[in-house]
Amino acid sequence: MSEGTVAFQRTPCPDCNGTGELRIESENINENFEVEKQTVITTCPACQGLGFQVPGKSGASG
Ligand SMILES: [Zn+2]
């Protein structure tokens, strides 16, 4: 695969490092009182799972 023709340069999303996914490690305690680590993968809200910063919305606090 070669991605050569890119109209504009995409800035990788700093939140998910360009993966478009966020990994949240959560600890869950089972019935044996053992800590089970669970990795939850969710869509990065910053880039909507695209992996790069979306250049459209540019607003202050809102
Ligand atoms: Zn992201």
Distance 13 CA to ligand 1 centre (A): 5
Structure confidence at residue 62 (pLDDT): 45
Torsion sign across C-alpha atoms 15, 19, 22, 26: negative
Distance 14 CA to ligand 1 centre (A): 6
- Residue 47 has, within 13 A of its CA and on its CB side, a CA count of 19
Distance 52 CA to ligand 1 centre (A): 6
Distance 24 CA to ligand 1 centre (A): 13
- Which among 59, 54, 47, 52 is positioned nearest to 12, based on CA atoms? 52
pLDDT in tens, the chain (62 residues): 556 555 667 889 999 999 999 999 999 999 999 999 999 999 999 999 999 987 765 555 54
Predicted TM-score (pTM) of this structure: 0.57
Distance 12 CA to ligand 1 centre (A): 8
- Which among 56, 36, 33 is positioned nearest to 46, based on CA atoms? 56
Structure confidence at residue 6 (pLDDT): 53
Structure confidence at residue 53 (pLDDT): 87
Hey, which residues does 39 pair with through a beta bridge? 25
Count Cβ atoms below 10 Å from residue 47 Cβ, excluding itself. Answer: 23
Domain boundaries, the chain: 20-52
